[in-house]
Chain A
Amino acid sequence: MGRNFSFKGHTRRIARALVDTMMPRWPELEVDLTDRILDDVEGVVRGFPAAFQVGYVAGLWALEAASPLLGGGPQPFTRCDLETRERRLRALQDSKVPQLRQVLLLYGVFVTASAYAQPEVEAFLGVPRRAWRDARARFRERLVQMEASRPLRPATPEALGSHGVAPAATYLDEGTLAAEALRAMGE
């Protein structure tokens, strides 16, 4: 536990089964991201206080041992197929006991956050976030350069604007604008 935390032995198998069930799947996207997401989740749990880590692992074991009560036969969670695992988690999600739903929500947040930040998922959904970040940072560099040559900066709270670099209509247009900004920077 503590800052050396890692999923070990059967705990890792339970965590992996949970990630495998909660991660997104699309028939058209064939890449298997399970282990990468599991590593991310492990990294997040590593940042938890030790008591929270113990609780997190205890929750995994509770899922493994008690989830047969949620239906789908007597097998522990890790021995179930994807459909059964999902059915059990859906039963938890629809539980009338708010605490059970809330715990499931916590486990799901880290899987979902990691999964939808994977480059393959972003690319599949047509969200070029990394390229967008880079293009925006370079565009801003250009605006800041322009700022340096401006005689007077508008007083707060007025907007600084982007005069001479990009009109408002194309401010968020990364294609033409980024290229233009890069050209202006001599790259």
Chain B
Amino acid sequence: MREQVPRGIIQPHQTRGDVRETCDVVVMGSGAGGAAAAATLAEAGLDVLVLEEGAFHRTSEYGANATAMFSALMRDGGATATIGRAPVPYMEGRCVGGSTVINGGMCWRTPEDVLDHWAGAMGLPDLAPAALDPLFDEVEATINARYQDPGSEGGNNEVFRRGAEKLGWKYQRNKRNQIHCVGSNECVTGCPSGAKQSTVYSWLPRVFARGGRLMTHCKVTKVLVERGRAVGLAGTLDDPHRRRKFVVRAKAVVLAGGAVQTPLLMLRNKIAPKNEHVGRHFTIHPNIKVAALFEDRVESMRGVHQAYQCTEFKKRGILLAPGGIPLMFTAVAFSDFGRRLAERMRDYHHIATGGVLVDDFSSGRIMAPLGIPLVKYDVTDIDQEKFVEAAGLLATLYFAAGAKEVYLPFHGYPVLKSVDDVKKLHDHMPRVEDTEYFTAHLMGSCRMHGDPRQGVVGPDGQCWDLPGLYLADASVMPGTIGVNPQVTIMALARLIALRLADKLQRRAAA
């Protein structure tokens, strides 16, 4: 039976001409932050309208053609990268559900030491572990953050677990937002079985159940400001037939476009022009990929994307994880082409893939010179040392699991044939410029801080410099967290939305 478009979603063909709307709260973005905030506000009895730049896609429309799905689900067809010493490709979801549609679905609470730091040094006592725990509980229940069905892990995760166990390294089972993830292993191009509980299946139905609405194809270009207060959003409606505009007026405005789009909108609109923190303190948890060749078949296609994480080196800011990916992404991981790559890919069934993630010391900046988006980020030499160490650790793990060869993403480095080769890595440290990174974790470009001189938003998520403007996405994260961020984003968005709902209700009562 064909999946229905949820009631509450308004697509361009359902409206005519320019669109004018009013509501209590208008929310830009339907990803982890926007959807969680919208559901919280709608359930508080407020009239909520969500504006999403991308389209709505049914699960049946998540097709097998990966390049077509890149174009359908991601900003700029997935061809987005930071600029700096080495480009770091990143992906931003641009569809109903945002990046929760294209992420791997890992669910980790913010580590307690991170929350303690935020609560203490950054003047945010409401982010202390005890205060956020109930929110984490709610988030995890909403998105079904569960361990995998036993047996669904697959060979790619199995070799990782085996290596960690042989070395006696601590590893943990991942919670993922899924209901019966059956190991299709195509998370990045939209879960084809509907198992992943993106916001389309978790938060947004709660918005619609309480009468909230979501308009697709709405590119927000302007924050409406009157008498020093944010009063709405305006922009263009991406109608293929003709150029249309929309204007939404509201009592409060919530930006949840993510750690790149939210500061970009603020910079282009010259919001808080004297606040030097807008667009700064941007962190990305850079990743690198490692592949390993085994004698036995690994069958990376079968099984969940990531069932475990090795946390043995977490205190050193290093996280190791398997990362099962479909054939085409495994081929891409080798950064080769043509006949040589073709010969290597004959071994596909025997190849395992994983990655390392480091807590980044460096921070980047989002800029909009002449309105042009620029995302600047430089991996520092300190972080690079951690990457090289981490790559060596993951190679060691794979050799312990029985790998014959390990491939590292450092230009010009030979294939590692044994654990002894790992030591040679440190003899000649690969440069940042010779390393291939990627990331999916963009955070902290409009950070929350208890001191107005040190951040963009206060503890309630309201912009210090513009009343009525709230931020509820990864941009408000006060710093890097060292784990996959969607649960943190949702918890912060819910906290901000609860405060906002309370404020609007009290204002209405008065």
User: Complex: how many Å from CA A43 to CA B65?
Assistant: 11
- Number of interface residues, chain A, beta carbon within 8 A: 69
B67 contacts A40, C-beta separation under 8 Å = yes
A45: CB under 8 A from chain B?
yes
A162 contacts B192, C-beta separation under 8 Å = no
B184 contacts A112, C-beta separation under 8 Å = no
A184: CB under 8 A from chain B?
no
Q: How far is the CB of B349 from chain A (nearest CB, A)?
A: 7
User: Complex: how many Å from CA A98 to CA B342?
Assistant: 24
- B146, B328, B348, B349: the one within 8 Å of A113 (CB): B328
B209: CB under 8 A from chain A?
no
B147 contacts A43, C-beta separation under 8 Å = no
User: Complex: how many Å from CA A167 to CA B68?
Assistant: 36
- B71, B331, B346: the one within 8 Å of A116 (CB): B331
Instruction: Return the CB mask of A16-43 against B: 1 if under 8 Å, else 0.
Output: 0000011111100000000000001101
Q: Which residue of A lies closest to B70 (CB)?
A: A44
A125 contacts B303, C-beta separation under 8 Å = no
- A51, A112, A133: the one within 8 Å of B192 (CB): A133
- A48, A89, A129, A162: the one within 8 Å of B326 (CB): A129
B434: CB under 8 A from chain A?
yes
Q: Which of A7-15, A65-73, A137-145 contacts B (4 or more CB under 8 A)?
A: A137-145
User: Complex: how many Å from CA A106 to CA B79?
Assistant: 8
Q: Which residue of B lies closest to A23 (CB)?
A: B338
Given A22-B338, A156-B144, A136 contacting B151 (CB threshold 8 A)? no
A159 contacts B67, C-beta separation under 8 Å = no
B15: CB under 8 A from chain A?
no
User: Complex: how many Å from CA A57 to CA B330?
Assistant: 27
User: Complex: how many Å from CA A151 to CA B77?
Assistant: 44
Given A44-B70, A171-B149, A172-B151, A160 contacting B338 (CB threshold 8 A)? no
Instruction: Return the CB mask of B110-154 against A: 1 if under 8 Å, else 0.
Output: 000000000000000000000000000000110011111111101
Given A25-B338, A48-B79, A140 contacting B146 (CB threshold 8 A)? no
A114 to chain B: which residues have CB within 8 Å? 66-67, 328
B336 to chain A: which residues have CB within 8 Å? 93, 108
- Number of interface residues, chain B, beta carbon within 8 A: 64
B329 to chain A: which residues have CB within 8 Å? 113
- A127, A139, A155: the one within 8 Å of B301 (CB): A127
A166: CB under 8 A from chain B?
yes
Q: How far is the CB of A34 from chain B (nearest CB, A)?
A: 13
Instruction: Return the CB mask of A110-125 against B: 1 if under 8 Å, else 0.
Output: 1111111100011001
A21 to chain B: which residues have CB within 8 Å? 337-338
Which B76-126 residues have C-beta < 8 A from chain A? 76-79, 86-87, 107
User: Complex: how many Å from CA A106 to CA B81?
Assistant: 10
A187: CB under 8 A from chain B?
no
A170: CB under 8 A from chain B?
yes
Report whether over half of chain A's contact residues are helix, strand or loop; otherwise say mixed. helix
User: Complex: how many Å from CA A43 to CA B69?
Assistant: 10
B498: CB under 8 A from chain A?
no
A44 contacts B150, C-beta separation under 8 Å = no
User: Complex: how many Å from CA A136 to CA B87?
Assistant: 36
User: Complex: how many Å from CA A115 to CA B433?
Assistant: 27
A143 to chain B: which residues have CB within 8 Å? 149, 180, 182
Given A159-B147, A168-B151, A125 contacting B182 (CB threshold 8 A)? no
Given A129-B301, A140-B193, A47 contacting B326 (CB threshold 8 A)? no
- B182, B338, B339: the one within 8 Å of A139 (CB): B182
A152: CB under 8 A from chain B?
no
Which A56-111 residues have C-beta < 8 A from chain B? 86, 89, 93-94, 98, 101-102, 105-106, 108-111
Which B51-69 residues have C-beta < 8 A from chain A? 64-68
B345 to chain A: which residues have CB within 8 Å? 24, 116, 125
User: Complex: how many Å from CA A102 to CA B78?
Assistant: 16
B339 contacts A24, C-beta separation under 8 Å = yes
B183 to chain A: which residues have CB within 8 Å? 136, 171-172
B86 contacts A102, C-beta separation under 8 Å = yes
A-B contact pairs, 19 of them (CB 8 A): A23-B338, A24-B345, A40-B67, A44-B70, A98-B411, A98-B433, A101-B411, A106-B79, A109-B332, A113-B329, A126-B349, A143-B180, A156-B140, A156-B175, A157-B107, A160-B149, A160-B179, A162-B150, A172-B183
Question: What 5 pairs across the A-B complex have the smallest Cβ distances?
Answer: A171-B151, A168-B151, A47-B77, A24-B342, A47-B71
